[in-house]
Structure 1
Amino acid sequence: MPKLELNAALLSFRVAAAIQNCLIHPISRTYFWTDSSTVRNWIRATASFNQIFVANRVGEIQTLTESDEWHFIPGKLNPADAATRSAIGEDVWPWIWQDGPEFLLQLESAWPTDLPWMAATVELKATKSYHVQITPDPFDWSAVSLDHSYLSSFLKLEGETKNLLKRCQSEAFPEDLTRLKRGKLLRSSSYLLALSPKLGEAEILRLGGRIDRAKLPYDARHPPLLPSKHPLTEKIVEVVHGQMHHAGTDYLFAKLCRHFWVIRGRELSDKAVSALFTCLATRAVHIELAESLSSEDFLLVFRRFIGLFGKPATVQSDNGTNFVGAERELNDLVNQLGKDPKLSQFRKEKMIDYTNQSFQPPRALHFGGAHESFVRSTKRAFPRKKWKSAQENLSVGDIVLLLDPNQPCGLWKIGHVNQVYPGNEGLVRVVKVRTKDGEYTRAIHRLSILKKAAVADVHPKESLPPSSK
């Protein structure tokens, strides 16, 4: 309906423009009347803010008229409405079309009161807002001087160390810092989630978790976090390594952990490679650690294996390239290893048939058969799992399923939680479950909740329960 009213207003404007062009004497003042408050507000506002239909017509009206020339008239006084409200018995030609509204014969002060302007939200054009964030000039970390004389005060976070540490964290963990400062949880994709980070003094990001219950100094329980691939971290590791006279990986990593928690710090200190040996007849598995993928380190691992289990008659190998992020580099190294003359000489001396198989292609695990399945099982066994986000506690009355790896799924028991045992931080990790066969004390990772209790009736214990079934 407002669009029809707008067309009527446009028609009246065009008629007025045609009349002015036909008259010899200029018209000093023009009055336009409409009983549509929406049209009135459109004409008073900027035309381009509206959709195309409205914007084009309002724009044409605004080219030759001023907004104060348009006035509001109630519908009952509008002569144009007579055509839409005709009834039987009325005059075919209403008198108001000939004489006009009676209020025009009165003083302008007695005319209908104009309505105040209001923003018309209908037909508004959709707008987009863009936020521009100015990135400051990158900090020149090469200008940061860190040597043995300054290392002690640096590790104690004295002087400008705090500012350098905060700048380092803001470059490495910008989104995590922003969310923690706003009191929000970290995203599930954040690789800091497993560390339960917290903001400490001076808004420095520190290690969190249940280590807070340890009877240690605050800095030892909550060391500041450092990213592994950052110039500041590399400088710290380099200086500490030199100060300790190039000590081993474990010793260096332990020294760093006394002051900072370096993300993947052991990899930054050094890298280790493991070689997996399996017997294709008995499926026995043996794992040896190697310092690198060099020919010398592989032969040392191979010699240790032969010293423990004897000389194999035939050796088959994969290409060992399914390592995320280093596939190309590892591929080149392993290919060089297969072509190394030292390995060939070693095989001749030990009379070992080394079947290369062209080092099975990457991402073709079916070429490897049994040994690839053991590689996958070994990788799954090494990582330690940890809850990364808070889950709702189990409560008394919850219906749960007891997971038993030694029984088929169809024989797993269903029971009700009748006792919970929260820790000092309020998280429930152990509960007591009543089933038709008796009561069982289980850790929550051995339970699967089927239905939450309508009203929790929690009776927590201060300590873990005595051993039971």
Structure 2
Amino acid sequence: MYSDFMREYRELGHMSLIKKYSWPHYFLPHHGVFREDSTTTKLRVVFDASCVTTTNKSLNDIQYTGASLQNDIPKLELCAALIGARLYKKIINSLRLQINCSYFWTDSTIVMGWLRMSPHLLKPFVQNRVIEINELTGDLLWLHIDGNNNPADLVSRGLYIDALKDNRLWWDGPSFLHCNEWLNKQNVSISNDLPELKNKTINTVCINSEIIIDFTRFSTFNKLKRTGAYVLRFIHNIRSKQQRKTGSLTADELTSSVQVLSRIAQMHSFPSLYNSLVNAIPIKSCKEMNKVLGLNVFLDNNKLIRVGGRLNNSNFTYNKIHPILLCNPADYSPLTPAHFLIGRPLTAPACHDFTNTQSSQLIRYNRVEQMRQHFWRRWSTEYVTQLQNRIKWKENKGDIKLGTLILVKEDNQPPLKWRLGRIIRVYPGKDGISRVADIRTATGQIQRAFTKICPLPLSTDENKSSAPTTSSTTYTTNSDN
């Protein structure tokens, strides 16, 4: 069978004649593979794919081009580092000696950069090998050595045996290793633009704000504030690798944490209101309208909902004049100045501050003074903020127009005897809302607050456009009047 096959190939011209022999010799690079189990073709012949036939073409010439062989130098360097890590593990497990410290060397700065990165940032081929190297070497250091001082390059460059036997680099290692300070002189700059990195794709996922920080898991506000500060620091360090924050928390970080936590609480408690304020939508259409009607809310520069009010002319701080709106305010009882009157004149000289002194260390008179000081502090911090709430007039119906015919409300007169007048001037406040007007009456010009003014409805349209903030005033009188 084999002879018949070779005869057929000779007749087809697939073999070349070798003329230097006395009897015919042919050259055909091949070998035969005999398959006993085959029922069709028991003999397979494998040829040299580079050998040309009578058509002057070889098998390689007519094959489809396949994938290129692995010739990526950094990847080959990484594979060499992996072999070195495996060899180190094998030797360490075989030796009976105790090795105190080991160092690994590579002449590829790219491999150094890969080994110092988190593996999840690398593509699969590099990622898998970096993970295995880290598992084999643990916390041991990988150091860089340039090609001129690398003994491993001597053999790969084709150094002859005669030259190798006298080569001190091969037998003694690099000269810098003989210096005690060699480890401190390692100063290699690793480029951030490394190959085989995953594409920097940012996936945006909409999640509920309460998932970021669950308020119910914290027993004290201080723990919640510090946790929020560490979360913000983590986000900052991820986004800005050049200016990383470390060490103890700063006052600015804690302040930012309070602002973010307050914003999250507001977005959770007043979603419709917050969306309306951010997008400049009238808050009359939001679901939380009834909760904030009397608070004159607005959005500050940090996108926090704050309470407006009538304390703009006071000497209090901005946070006290415009406190942050939260869903569960403290249930403080209303306090008035009459509560702290102790029977002594207000012009008495100031006393020493006893607010931080233990009561057991004070005599009776100083304990009373301490109670008074505590009360003053609570009144200024708790009661004054209650003045922000507008109890009676919660909606602005518009200013009274000039020339509007009105009635001047008199507390000691029935409505039928109130004077008739006409608006000639209004006085807007700092917030742009007018609350006082000049009125011309039959007996002269007077000035009254809007709370004492009742516009007369002349027509339906005019009534709607000129209705003041006191439109809730009724004209019901006693039957005796």
Asked if these proteins are the same fold (TM beyond 0.5), I'd say no
Q: Which has the larger radius of gyration?
A: 2
TM-score (norm 1): 0.33
